[in-house]
């Protein structure tokens, strides 16, 4: 006899656990299957985000940022500190404590809401059945009314630089280095490369980033990416564009990396090499061949706008389906699916998903970039406000970067916002809300913003769209 559930969720990352909690709140009998088992032999909830992704990386980014503040940022305030020291073990222990607190919190929420956590690897069978095999090889079958697959993603590896978990490491290994590498190589100057490269650079590593593309952060607004690149260079991140790694070999306890650029072949030697070249959907071995679930050509589970797979009552959400690999995108998809299972007409607004790179300053974005609009032939107008003209940013001695707001040339509707600056992640959220409500730049411009705040830069950028900024000289109208 198989156990029966209204909903079986596969995976307990932000896409899966949020869907499971939501479903249980709404009265569905819900189980969440998770294959991750911790050293106490119990199921470890939270997925990549909580265990080896968003949260631990932010913990290390915050610790290392505080260190640079003490080392380099206090003299200007009149505070002198004798040579500060850094203890990596304490930083890692703090990170682990945060992970334990948050993953334990999910276990508590599951209990409170009545979600059954099941340890093991799940496989979707025909007829909305789920087979679960635990670490000891025991197999059980669950009969589900509906299934949500939220099995997430895995780091991509490249043949020239195979991960050995000692010298050549992926993002997981880069969160657990027990000492600061003297020279650190990073393959890929994307989100993970920049965040983890920043952590170790701040703690003293000499960091060289090898990026295959000729453009830096091509998915970001070009103006913001260019400005960010200059700031990161000043911080000592040696970012080499158009650099394709062809070989990485461990020799005498160091990694010798060969890479090619337009100028020819080069070699560099590092103490550690981080491979951060993207992530791929974790869709292998997840379903029986007759399950009805199909994959697209890149291995993502094929779904429609409502996250329905080709198999009835089987849904897929988060990193394992098309769209940006962002925790909050997966969570919202999970909520949408649960609401649709319950008969509501819920849908996602994929045009309004913010994304952030947690460097310092942060880079945050929502909506379209200037280059995308140009390519699509959309007429637009822009308003830019630099933090150097913000009283709050100057008072905080944190005045690098800018807010850039893009609005439609005729309708004035906000099409995008791109922020480089302290607290950009939180600042962009107010534009996300405005966009959700179909706001024009003028609507934002007519809104009262508190003074003195960093948010005033968003207000001024909105004013600048029509040449009405107060605290900068406006561009002459075209």
Catalytically active residues are 451
Residue 245 engages ligand NAD in binding (rule: CB under 6 A): yes
| Per-residue contact flags (x/-) with ligand NAD for residues 114 to 153, judged by CB under 6 A | ----------------------------------------
The residue among 212 and 472 lying less far from ligand NAD, judged by its C-beta, is 212
Q: Is 97 exposed, middle or buried (0-12, 13-18, 19+ CB in 10 A)?
A: exposed
Least Cβ distance, residue 237 to ligand NAD (angstroms): 14
Residue 329 engages ligand NAD in binding (rule: CB under 6 A): no
Q: Which of 11, 188, 334, 421 binds ligand NAD (CB under 6 A)?
A: 188
- Where are the strands (E) in 120-270, listed by range? 121-125, 129-133, 139-149, 153-155, 168-169, 183-187, 206-210, 237-240, 244-251, 254-261, 264-270
Q: Which of 278, 292, 391, 452 binds ligand NAD (CB under 6 A)?
A: 278
Residue 191 engages ligand NAD in binding (rule: CB under 6 A): yes
Tokens of 417: 């916002």
Least Cβ distance, residue 409 to ligand NAD (angstroms): 30
Q: Which range of residues in 109-117, 134-142, 306-314, 356-364 is near ligand NAD by CB under 6 A?
A: 356-364
Encode burial over 44-58: b for 16+ CB neighbours within 10 A, e otherwise.
bbbbbbbbbbbbbbe
**Region for 266 from its dihedrals, namely left if φ exceeds 0, alpha if ψ lies in -120 to 50, beta otherwise:** beta
The residue among 144 and 431 lying less far from ligand NAD, judged by its C-beta, is 431
For residues 426-465, which are near ligand NAD according to CB under 6 A? Answer: none
CA atoms within 13 A on the CB side of 426: 6
Residue 199 engages ligand NAD in binding (rule: CB under 6 A): no
Three-class SS of residue 219? coil
**Region for 44 from its dihedrals, namely left if φ exceeds 0, alpha if ψ lies in -120 to 50, beta otherwise:** beta
Residue 348 engages ligand NAD in binding (rule: CB under 6 A): no
The residue among 210 and 237 lying less far from ligand NAD, judged by its C-beta, is 210
Tokens of 207: 């960091």
Q: Which range of residues in 137-145, 223-231, 276-284, 450-458 is near ligand NAD by CB under 6 A?
A: 276-284
How many angstroms separate the CA atoms of 265 and 162, rounded? 20
Residue 239 engages ligand NAD in binding (rule: CB under 6 A): no
Using CB under 6 A, count the residues that bind ligand NAD.
26
Residue 356 engages ligand NAD in binding (rule: CB under 6 A): yes
Residue 325 engages ligand NAD in binding (rule: CB under 6 A): yes
The residue among 188 and 367 lying less far from ligand NAD, judged by its C-beta, is 188
Which single residue brings its beta carbon nearest to ligand NAD? 190
How many angstroms separate the CA atoms of 270 and 66, rounded? 26
Pairing state of beta strands 264-270 and 168-169?
unpaired
- Please name the helix (run of DSSP H) or strand (run of DSSP E) that holds residue 14, with its range, or none: helix 14-25
Residue 187 engages ligand NAD in binding (rule: CB under 6 A): yes
Residue 396 engages ligand NAD in binding (rule: CB under 6 A): no
| Per-residue contact flags (x/-) with ligand NAD for residues 200 to 219, judged by CB under 6 A | ----------xxxx------
CB neighbour list of residue 98: distance below 8 Å, 6 or more residues apart: 55, 56, 59
Tokens of 108: 């508590």
The residue among 195 and 398 lying less far from ligand NAD, judged by its C-beta, is 195
For residues 83-112, which are near ligand NAD according to CB under 6 A? Answer: none
Q: Which range of residues in 304-312, 319-327, 456-464, 465-473 is near ligand NAD by CB under 6 A?
A: 319-327
Residues 449, 451, 453: CA angle, nearest 5 degrees: 85
Long-range contacts of 422-425 (CB under 8 A, 24+ apart): 422/360, 422/361, 422/362, 422/387, 422/393, 422/396, 422/398, 422/454, 423/362, 423/454, 424/356, 424/361, 424/362, 424/363, 424/364, 425/354, 425/356, 425/358, 425/362, 425/364
Least Cβ distance, residue 440 to ligand NAD (angstroms): 28
The residue among 218 and 438 lying less far from ligand NAD, judged by its C-beta, is 218
- Please name the helix (run of DSSP H) or strand (run of DSSP E) that holds residue 23, with its range, or none: helix 14-25
- Please name the helix (run of DSSP H) or strand (run of DSSP E) that holds residue 457, with its range, or none: helix 456-465
Residue 60 engages ligand NAD in binding (rule: CB under 6 A): no
Residue 244 engages ligand NAD in binding (rule: CB under 6 A): yes
The residue among 355 and 369 lying less far from ligand NAD, judged by its C-beta, is 355
Least Cβ distance, residue 53 to ligand NAD (angstroms): 6
The residue among 105 and 324 lying less far from ligand NAD, judged by its C-beta, is 324
Q: Which range of residues in 119-127, 183-191, 340-348, 404-412 is near ligand NAD by CB under 6 A?
A: 183-191
How many angstroms separate the CA atoms of 400 and 377, rounded? 31
Applying CB under 6 A, the residues found at the interface with ligand NAD are 158, 187-193, 195, 210-213, 244-245, 276-279, 324-326, 355-358
């Amino acid at each position: 006899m198989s156990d029966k559930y209204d909903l079986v969720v596969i995976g307990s990352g932000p896409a899966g656990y949020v869907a499971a909690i939501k479903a249980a709140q709404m009265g569905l009998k819900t189980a969440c299957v998770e294959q991750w088992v911790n050293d106490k032999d119990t199921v470890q909830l939270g997925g990549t985000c909580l265990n080896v992704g968003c949260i631990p990386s932010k913990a290390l980014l915050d610790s290392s940022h505080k260190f640079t503040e003490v080392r380099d940022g206090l003299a200007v305030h009149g505070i002198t500190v004798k040579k500060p020291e850094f203890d990596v073990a304490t930083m890692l222990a703090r990170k682990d404590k945060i992970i334990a607190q948050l993953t334990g919190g999910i276990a508590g929420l599951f209990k409170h809401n009545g979600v059954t956590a099941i340890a093991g690897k799940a496989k979707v069978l025909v007829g909305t059945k789920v087979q679960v095999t635990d670490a000891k090889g025991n197999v059980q079958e669950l009969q589900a009314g509906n299934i949500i697959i939220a099995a997430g993603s895995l780091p991509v590896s490249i043949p020239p630089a195979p991960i050995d978990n000692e010298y050549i490491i992926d993002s997981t290994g880069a969160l657990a280095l027990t000492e600061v590498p003297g020279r650190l190589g990073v393959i890929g100057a994307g989100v993970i490369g920049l965040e983890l490269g920043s952590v170790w650079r701040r703690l003293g590593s000499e960091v060289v980033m090898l990026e295959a593309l000729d453009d830096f952060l091509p998915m970001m607004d070009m103006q913001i990416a260019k400005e960010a690149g200059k700031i990161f260079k000043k911080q000592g991140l040696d970012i080499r564009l158009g650099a394709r790694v062809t070989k990485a070999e461990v020799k005498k306890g160091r990694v010798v990396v060969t890479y090619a650029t337009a100028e020819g072949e080069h070699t560099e030697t590092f103490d550690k090499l981080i491979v951060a070249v993207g992530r791929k959907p974790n869709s292998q071995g997840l379903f029986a061949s007759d399950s009805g679930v199909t994959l697209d050509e890149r291995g993502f589970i094929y779904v429609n706008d409502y996250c329905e797979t080709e198999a009835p009552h089987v849904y897929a959400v988060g990193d394992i389906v098309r769209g940006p690999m962002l925790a909050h995108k997966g969570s919202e998809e999970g909520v949408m699916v649960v609401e649709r299972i319950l008969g509501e007409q819920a849908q996602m607004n994929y045009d309004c998903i913010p994304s952030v790179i947690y460097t310092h300053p942060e880079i945050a974005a929502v909506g379209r970039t200037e280059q995308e609009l140009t390519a699509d032939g959309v007429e637009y107008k822009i308003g830019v406000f630099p933090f150097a003209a913000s009283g709050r940013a100057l008072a905080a001695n944190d005045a690098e970067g800018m807010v850039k707001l893009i609005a439609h040339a005729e309708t004035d509707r906000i099409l995008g916002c791109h922020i480089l600056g302290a607290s950009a992640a939180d600042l962009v959220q107010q534009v996300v809300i405005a966009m959700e409500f179909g706001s024009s730049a003028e609507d934002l411009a007519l809104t009262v913003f508190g003074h003195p705040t960093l948010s005033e830069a968003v207000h001024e950028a909105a004013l600048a769209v029509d040449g009405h900024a107060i605290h900068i000289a406006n561009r002459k109208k075209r």
